[in-house]
Structure 1
């Protein structure tokens, strides 16, 4: 393989979320593919000659292979499982055991939550990144450090807030979760919010805001304005949409907008005491 091809292969691996070697020596998958193709071609030739005289129907794909692909039935299954959770510990166990979302197959850890579930305010982001996947906790990378500083600016820390994500598993290569993956995970975060029953909910960024407030309006128009999150059981929680710390790292000039949002959160918490 020439250097250009090698670069393209490494870029593909990086985009797919491959960040650790699994073997001591590199395996030439291209050579393996060529060898397997040659074997199949050699085996297929006499079979094709027979098939000219007696054509046969192609066998259907194995049922197990089809069942491994998440579909709308998995979202319905997730709703039933999540609804049955009577405590955060049970919900955590259910989520760890759930196998209906393909994101779990590439993630190292199920990222459930961090902080104090008895706190009055709950923050919800979109999905774990690389550092969160490794440590099994939300917001522990660069964006998490910025979130900690933002909390400190209004007198809060991780012992006085509760933090989770809509998606509990890191998407490979930090890609955006698909609509179906998000829909499969939705019942778990909705039940999570019901069980915590916070006085205030804070949605961090566009995806969590759109999902939990059931809106298609962008975060720049939603942020700074109080809204209401309604859970399936009818619980209504005052909700402040604000900018995601990762966005603020890329756009530091907008930190002043988040600062105004956090001041509104602080005031709301003081009124709720």
Structure 2
């Protein structure tokens, strides 16, 4: 599927991997709807990129907020005449914590809900609200394709570390539902793929201590560095353009396998 003159909806698009994807798809002629909670960052991105971008404020953990944002972006694409061809729910949070702490107290339920609401329910909510506007578009030839859903899983879906229970559960769910979503949407000519990055430079990893960063660097195979946003964005672009990529979760980790302890 071609990127030029098609719209891509990206949550978490004002920073990190989402922003790298916004810039890459825009540079290849795509129209990009940026969904994010950070208004200042979102407006700055639109000011930087100019034409073919629009920002929509959203709290992806809130269904009413997501519904409002999708309604607004649909009005935008009706004006541009460029149909939704891709949805990339890239908004996510970590919020580490074990189920029971050193004082024998269970983790507050709201901590678990925060991670699950953004990383899983928010993903499903955005996809389901965008799909009716994808299934009615004219399919492209020769395969009759209408679009692609590209979700963000994580290496934690495979080898999560202590304290990552809620995060691993949410990212493991994304990995598990990829094939099911691809099968559900096959009749509409819409593909579903997920990417499982390992340690990438992002807002989430920026909060790590120097000690943790050094420990993580010790488990890299090749290349001996964290992933860059551009690495992630290039894979997104390839998935968009390659119709045979469907129903799979692709590890993007330079052969890194996280140990149980750092």
Q: TM-score, normalised by structure 2?
A: 0.32
Compare the two structures and name the one with the higher strand fraction. 2
Higher relative contact order (CA 8 A, sep 6+): 2
Pair member with larger Rg: 1
